[in-house]
Copies of this chain bind each other. A is one copy, B any other.
Amino acid sequence: MTDFFQTLNQFVRLTPESEAALSAILKPFSLPRGYLLLKEDTTCNYIYYIEKGLTRTFYYKDGKDVTDWISLEKTFACSVVSYITRRPDIRNIELLEDSVLWGIHYNDIEQLYQKYHDIERFGRLVVSDGLVKLQQRFDDLHFATAAERYNKLLDTNPSVIQRVPLGMIASFLGITQETLSRIRAQHTRRKE
């Protein structure tokens, strides 16, 4: 939980009362690799703070597994569309490693939003940060070649490349795994 409040402090400084109220709604999860946090066609009720581990948000498009987002430690994971709109959507979330998470239920945080101005501010800033990150991810793919996409990821999130299977990274980048494998082969050749 310490990690969570450390991350939170990067967004906003809460009053002790708000902090206590927020810590009271955090639910701990300790779950194994492969666990499905969210199943497609259900409504996402939790946003998860990742203390330890790694999650992947994915869906099926024309029968093919497409990775939508990868969340690392000290960030959040959820189906943004479902959590905000309160409707089911196509996304699944799975754990790529054994993980320790803190879940925030939609209804619980809604109540705190109503009651505590500073928690509402926290919410606004978290969503704003998410919006900036998604825009940057979008920019990284817009009119970029397969190699450019991979290099950008290597720049911004090198640990993802160590921890996530190639096929998932490929679909995260909007390319096939064969193409990504060939790009990687080029890379190592260059380094020799």
Contact = CB atoms under 8 A, between A and B. Distances in A.
Interface of A: 61, 64, 66, 68, 80-81, 84-85, 113, 117, 120-121, 123-124, 127-132, 134-139, 141-143, 171, 174
Contacts of A113: 121, 124
Nearest to A64: B143
B84 A142 contact: no
B142 A174 contact: yes
A130 B131 contact: yes
Copies of the protein in its oligomer: 2
User: 10 tightest CB-CB pairs across the interface, nearest first?
Assistant: A124-B124, A117-B117, A131-B131, A127-B127, A84-B128, A120-B120, A123-B124, A127-B128, A84-B132, A134-B134
Contacts of A174: 141-143
Given A117-B117, A138-B138, A81 B132 contact: yes
A171 B139 CA distance: 12
A183 to B, nearest CB: 17
- Identify the interface centre among A121, A136, A141: most chain B CB within 10 Å of its CB: A121
